[in-house]
Chains A and B, each alone.
Chain A
Amino acid sequence: MNSKNPLVRTVTLILFWLVVAVVLFYVLFPFYWAIKTSLTSSARLSAEALQWFPSVPSFQNFVDVFTGAPFGRNLLNSVVVATGTVLLSLLLSVLAAYALGKFRFQGKTILMYLILAVSVFPQIAVLSGLYTMIQTFGLYNSWGGLILSYMIFTLPFTVWTLTAFVREIPTELEEAAYVDGASPLQTLFRVLLPVMTPALVTTGLLAFINAWNEFLFALTFTTDATAATVPPAIANFTGASQYESPFGLTMAASVIVTIPLIILVLVFQRNIVSGLTAGAVKG
Chain B
Amino acid sequence: MTTPLPSRPTAAPARTGRGLQASRTRVALLLLVPMLLVLAAVAGYPLLRTIYLSFTEYNILTDPAPKWIGLGNYWFTTEDGVGLGVLQIPEWWQSVWNTVKFTVGSVLLETVLGLAFALIINSKIRGRGLLRTAILVPWAIPTVVSAQMWNWMYNDSFGIISDWGQRLGFLQAGQSFLSNPDTALAALIAVDVWKTTPFMALLLLAGLQTIPSDMYEAADVDGANKWTQFWRLTLPLLTPALLVALIFRTLDALRVFDMPYIVKGNAPETITMSIYARQELILNSQFGFGSAISVLIFLIIMVFTAIYVTSLRVKFD
User: Which chain A residues have a beta carbon within 8 Å of chain B's beta carbons?
Assistant: 1, 16, 19-20, 23-24, 26-28, 30-31, 33-34, 37, 45-46, 49-50, 92-93, 95-96, 98-100, 103-106, 108-109, 111-113, 115-118, 120-133, 148-149, 151-152, 155-156, 159, 184, 209, 212-213, 215-216, 220, 230-232, 234-235, 237-238, 245, 247, 250-251, 254, 257-258, 261-262, 264-266, 269, 272-273, 276-277, 280-281, 283
Grouping DSSP codes into helix (H, G, I), strand (E, B) and loop, the B interface class, with mixed when no group exceeds half, is helix
Q: Given that A126-B47, A247-B155 are contacting pairs, would A93 and B143 also be in contact in the complex, using a CB cutoff of 8 Å?
A: no
Task: Give the distance to chain A from B40, nearest Cβ to Cβ, in Å.
Answer: 10
For B153, list chain A residues within 8 Å (CB): 30, 33
With contacts defined as CB atoms under 8 Å apart, how many contacts are there between chain A and chain B in the complex? 293
Asked whether A124 lies within 8 Å of B257 as measured between CB atoms, the reply is yes
In whole angstroms, how far apart are the Cα atoms of A262 and B135 in the complex? 11
> What residues of chain B lie closer than 8 Å to A234, measured between beta carbons?
142, 144-145, 148
A215 to B316, CA, bound (A): 31
Partner of A120, one of B133, B139, B147, B301: B301
User: Are B50 and A129 within 8 A (Cβ)?
Assistant: yes
Say which residue of B133, B142, B160, B241 sits within 8 Å of A269 (CB atoms).
Answer: B133
Q: Which residues of B contact A95 (CB under 8 A)?
A: 31-32, 34-35
Query: Which bracket fits the contact residues of B?
Result: 35 or more
Q: Which residue of A lies closest to B155 (CB)?
A: A247
Given contacts A103-B27, A272-B136, A273-B202, whether A26 and B194 have CB atoms under 8 Å apart is yes
Would you call A247 and B152 a contact (CB within 8 A)?
Answer: yes
A-B contact pairs, 25 of them (CB 8 A): A20-B125, A31-B137, A34-B149, A50-B160, A92-B34, A96-B31, A103-B31, A123-B274, A126-B42, A126-B43, A126-B294, A127-B278, A129-B53, A131-B60, A152-B43, A213-B142, A231-B143, A234-B142, A238-B151, A245-B158, A251-B152, A257-B145, A258-B140, A258-B142, A264-B140
Q: Mark B116-148, 1 if CB is under 8 A from A, else 0.
A: 010010010101000111111111111111111
**Given known contacts A24-B134, A129-B47, A258-B145, is B251 in contact with A120 (CB within 8 Å)?**
yes
Which of A28, A272, A281 has most chain B Cβ within 10 Å? A281
Give the A-binding residues of B (Cβ under 8 A). Answer: 21, 24-25, 27-29, 31-32, 34-36, 38-39, 41-43, 45-50, 53, 60, 117, 120, 123, 125, 127, 131-153, 155, 157-160, 163, 194, 198-199, 202-203, 205-206, 226, 241, 244-245, 248, 251, 254-255, 257-258, 261-262, 273-274, 277-278, 281-282, 287, 290-291, 294-295, 297-298, 301-302, 305, 309, 312, 314, 316-317
